[in-house]
């Protein structure tokens, strides 16, 4: 009798392990597909408008042009408000970042700890703005699948502002529909709602609404004039271009 129980227990454990492994694999595959949807273009140019609305409905607007190549080269240049117009941020591989301040007429290498702060005073962290694949940064677990969405929980592989992120992924097109961000004490601190549009062969997050649940402030990031695969080269992401 004891032997039978042991055998059944073993079988149950093996089956559980298989199911878990299969779920993890599924989650990994789903996340990889989401990465493919989000990061497959060779390069991208466009304009970005960020509207921040506080709980009193007071709005602030930031506008920038954006150039991106692959997942590690990016050039932001603010065009509005006037106090920030002309300020540019160049991000390169290996966490190399430069800031160009027109008032000082020089580029400045900036500490990577700048990523600890919010991006341009918005509710997006530098981490949120990064184009690195989610699969490389997070360990996924599939929480649920229904007719419309996969729900995946992401746990950061390295030190992060977040303890976990719960992502709802469109079951058909594999782009994220929403994300919930939890702090290290496991409190839900931010939510993001995505609107994707197909431009040519690629899906583009044309509108992202980030709500900061602590402050009640909302940051709406809208992309326009998006063009993919225009043939940007590494030379478009140099200090020479940063200063132009």
Partner 1 sequence: MIMKRKYLLIIILVTVSDIINGQDIEENRLKISGELIADERFLIGDKQDWAWNENRFTLKFDRRITGKSKFNSEIWVRNSGLPDIIGSSDLFNKGIVDPFSMEIREANVQIYEFLTRNLDIKIGRQRIAWGTADKINPTDNLNPFDLEDILDFGRHRGSDAITASYYLNSDFFLQGVYIPYFQPANMPVGLFANALAPVTDLPEGLTLKSISDTLLMPRFNIRESSSAGVRIKGYTKGIDVSLSYVWGYDGLPVSTRNTFIPVDLTGGIDINSRLSFIRTHILGADFATSISGAGFWGEAALYVPDKKVIMTNDLSALYPLSPAPVIVDATIVDKPYVKFILGGDYNFRDGSYVNIQYLHGFFHERGKENLNDYFFIRYEKKFLNEKLMIAPVGGAFIVSNWKKVKDNSTIVYVPQISYKATDDIEISLSLAVFSGKGDNMFSSFNDYDMFMFLMKYNF
Contact residues for partner 1 (CB under 8 A)? 52, 54, 60-61, 81-83, 85, 94-97, 104-106, 108-118, 121, 161, 215, 217, 234-235, 238-240, 244
Query: What is d(CA 145, CA 152) in angstroms, rounded to the nearest whole number?
Result: 9
- Helix H or strand E encompassing 92: strand 88-92
Query: What is d(CA 177, CA 10) in angstroms, rounded to the nearest whole number?
Result: 39
Instruction: Give the tokens for residue 240.
Output: 């020479």
Shortest gap between Cβ of 162 and partner 1 (angstroms)?
12
Shortest gap between Cβ of 45 and partner 1 (angstroms)?
13
Cα dihedral value 60, 47, 129, 173, nearest 10: 120
The upper half-sphere exposure of residue 81, i.e. CA atoms within 13 Å in the direction of its Cβ, equals 8
Characterize the bridge pairing of strands 149-156 and 138-145.
Answer: antiparallel
Q: Which is nearer to partner 1, 147 or 244 (CB)?
A: 244
13-37 exposure pattern, b = at least 16 Cβ within 10 A, e = fewer: eeeeeeeeeeeeebbbebbebbbeb
Shortest gap between Cβ of 110 and partner 1 (angstroms)?
6
Q: Which is nearer to partner 1, 45 or 118 (CB)?
A: 118
Q: Which is nearer to partner 1, 8 or 106 (CB)?
A: 106
Q: Which is nearer to partner 1, 66 or 110 (CB)?
A: 110
Shortest gap between Cβ of 68 and partner 1 (angstroms)?
17
Query: What is d(CA 175, CA 33) in angstroms, rounded to the nearest whole number?
Result: 8
Q: Which is nearer to partner 1, 118 or 195 (CB)?
A: 118
Shortest gap between Cβ of 154 and partner 1 (angstroms)?
20
Query: What is d(CA 79, CA 94) in angstroms, rounded to the nearest whole number?
Result: 27
Q: Which is nearer to partner 1, 14 or 114 (CB)?
A: 114
Shortest gap between Cβ of 183 and partner 1 (angstroms)?
11
């Amino acid at each position: 009798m004891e032997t039978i129980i042991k055998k059944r227990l073993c079988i149950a454990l093996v089956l559980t392990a298989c199911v878990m492994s299969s779920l993890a694999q599924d989650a990994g595959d789903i996340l990889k597909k989401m990465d493919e949807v989000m990061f497959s273009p060779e390069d991208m140019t466009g304009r970005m408008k960020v509207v921040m609305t506080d709980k009193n409905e007071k709005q602030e607007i930031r506008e920038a042009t954006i150039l991106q190549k692959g997942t590690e080269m990016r050039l932001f240049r603010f065009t509005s408000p006037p106090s920030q117009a002309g300020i540019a941020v160049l991000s390169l591989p290996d966490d190399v970042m430069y800031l160009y301040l027109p008032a000082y007429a020089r580029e400045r290498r900036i500490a990577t700890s700048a990523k600890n702060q919010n991006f341009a005073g918005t509710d997006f962290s530098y981490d949120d703005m990064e184009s690195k694949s989610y699969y490389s940064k997070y360990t996924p677990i599939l929480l649920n699948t229904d007719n419309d969405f996969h729900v995946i929980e992401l746990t950061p592989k390295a030190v992060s502002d977040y303890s976990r992120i719960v992502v709802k992924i469109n079951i058909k097109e594999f782009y994220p529909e929403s994300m919930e961000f939890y702090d290290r004490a496991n409190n839900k601190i931010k939510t993001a709602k995505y609107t994707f549009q197909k431009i040519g062969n690629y899906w583009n997050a044309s509108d992202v609404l980030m709500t900061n649940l602590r402050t009640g402030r909302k940051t709406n990031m809208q992309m326009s004039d998006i063009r993919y695969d225009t043939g940007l080269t590494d030379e478009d992401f140099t200090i020479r271009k940063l200063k132009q």
